[in-house]
């Protein structure tokens, strides 16, 4: 069978972040060009708290759309912004042809772990932002989900209640925080279903570029690093080639298990780098140029 007409087993999407320098911009678009060959369902570009990366995000999104014609979603938060300020950003996105939004509350301006205070004239909850976007009538809206609950949620039931509010307000899908233990995700999905949430929840996968750095970041955002990862990466600190090979294998094994359990859309956190993500996709047999069968 011709590889370019074989239906891939997984739908994929990618997350990028806006560059902060000309060098990083070149790296971003090189990564986008390479990963576009895998024909993702869509890609997303992150957005800083309080609009701190509004212009870089808009520039990255429009650049991706212009250069690749990929379906591209811009992240949007409501931290430290009035409703009018948020709507102004939305109008800029619309004028640029953006019709996909990842609607988020956003982290507190003082950083993860500090108290979040809604703007007095802003959207109080993510669900309120989602509802405002849904009223436009032509936005595709994604939201976030947390298999190990958001760090600020008092318990999992409260966290899933927030997800249901976002779904009921008009979200089309949820993209999860990264996780490494699929059993945690499967239990989460059982609770999501029991709560009556019916939108697709797409698992977010973080290929491990650097385990030490990932541990620091994961601690802040409430994601658990299972002990088996230390075992898999043991002794590889000074062996980048073998470390990258193991990282690709670990992510591919996680994705394969998700697929066996019916989760066939995977959202990959790229960190604006293509080699490891490409290796992961190669390991699951998802080749550049593979096309979906006609509906």
Q: According to the model, what pLDDT value does residue 273 have?
A: 96
Q: Which residues are catalytic?
A: 15
Phi/psi for 129 (5° steps) reads -65, -45
The reported pTM is 0.92
For residue 26, what pLDDT is reported?
96
pLDDT at residue 214 in the model: 92
CB within 8 Å of 48: residues ≥ 6 apart: 18, 54, 57, 77
For the chain, give every domain's residue range.
3-283
Contact assessment for residue 179 and residue 208, using Cβ atoms and an 8 Å cutoff = no
Matching residue, tokens 């029991």: 194
- Considering the four listed CATH numbers 3.20.20.220, 3.40.50.150, 3.40.190.10, 1.10.357.10, the one that applies to the domain covering 3-283 is 3.20.20.220
Q: What is the pLDDT of residue 6?
A: 64
Q: Distance (Å, rounded) from C-alpha 99 to C-alpha 85? A: 18
Q: In order along the chain (295 residues), what is the average pLDDT of each group of 10 residues?
A: 62 95 95 96 84 79 93 90 90 94 76 60 89 96 96 93 98 98 98 98 96 88 92 92 96 98 97 97 92 51
Question: 44 near 15, Cβ under 8 Å?
Answer: yes
- On the 0-12 / 13-18 / 19+ scale of CB atoms within 10 A, 69 is exposed
State the pLDDT at residue 74. Answer: 96
In degrees and rounded to multiples of 5, residue 54 shows phi and psi of: -55, -55
Q: Per residue, what are the HEC states of the chain? A: CCHHHCCCCCEEEEEECCCCCHHHHHHHHHHHHHHHCCCCCEEEECCCHHHCCHHHHHHHHHHHHHHHCCCEEEEEECCCCCHHHHHHHHHHHHHCCCCEEEEECCCCCCCCCCCCCCCCCCCCCHHHHHHHHHCCCCCEEEEEECCCCCCCCCCHHHHHHHHHHHHHHCCCEEEEEECCCHHHHHHHHHHHHHCCCCCCEEEEECCCCCHHHHHHHHHHHCCCCCHHHHHHHCCCCCCHHHHHHHHHHHHHHHHHHHHHCCCCEEEEECCCCCHHHHHHHHHCCCCCCCCCCCC
Quote the CA–CA distance of 105 and 130 in Å, as a whole number. 10
- List, in sequence order, every residue forming a beta bridge with 101; answer none if it has no partner: 74, 141
């Amino acid at each position: 069978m011709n590889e370019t007409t074989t239906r891939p087993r997984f739908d994929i999407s990618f997350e990028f972040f806006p560059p902060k320098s000309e060098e990083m911009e070149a790296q971003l678009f090189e990564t986008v060009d390479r990963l576009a060959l895998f024909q993702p369902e869509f890609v997303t570009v992150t957005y800083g708290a309080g609009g701190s990366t509004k212009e870089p995000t808009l520039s990255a999104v429009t650049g991706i759309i212009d250069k690749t014609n990929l379906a591209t979603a811009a992240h949007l938060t409501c931290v430290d912004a009035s409703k009018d300020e948020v709507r102004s950003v939305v109008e800029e996105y619309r004028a640029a042809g953006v019709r996909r939004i990842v609607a988020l509350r956003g982290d507190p301006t003082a950083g993860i772990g500090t108290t979040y205070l809604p703007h007095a004239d802003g959207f109080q909850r993510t669900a309120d932002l989602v509802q405002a976007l849904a009223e436009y009538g032509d936005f595709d809206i994604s939201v976030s989900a947390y298999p190990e609950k958001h760090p600020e949620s008092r318990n999992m039931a409260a966290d899933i209640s927030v997800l249901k509010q976002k779904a009921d307000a008009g979200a089309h899908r949820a993209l999860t925080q990264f996780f490494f233990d699929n059993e945690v995700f499967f239990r989460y999905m059982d609770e999501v279903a029991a709560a009556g949430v019916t939108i697709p929840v797409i698992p977010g996968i973080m290929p491990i570029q650097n385990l030490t750095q990932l541990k620091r970041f994961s601690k802040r955002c409430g994601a658990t690093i299972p002990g088996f990862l230390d075992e898999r990466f043991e002794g590889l600190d000074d062996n980048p080639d073998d470390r990258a090979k193991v990282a690709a294998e670990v992510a591919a094994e996680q994705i394969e298990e998700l697929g066996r359990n019916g989760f066939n859309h995977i959202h990959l956190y790229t960190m604006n780098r293509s080699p490891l993500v490409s290796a992961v996709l190669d390991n699951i047999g998802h080749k550049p140029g593979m096309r979906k069968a006609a509906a």
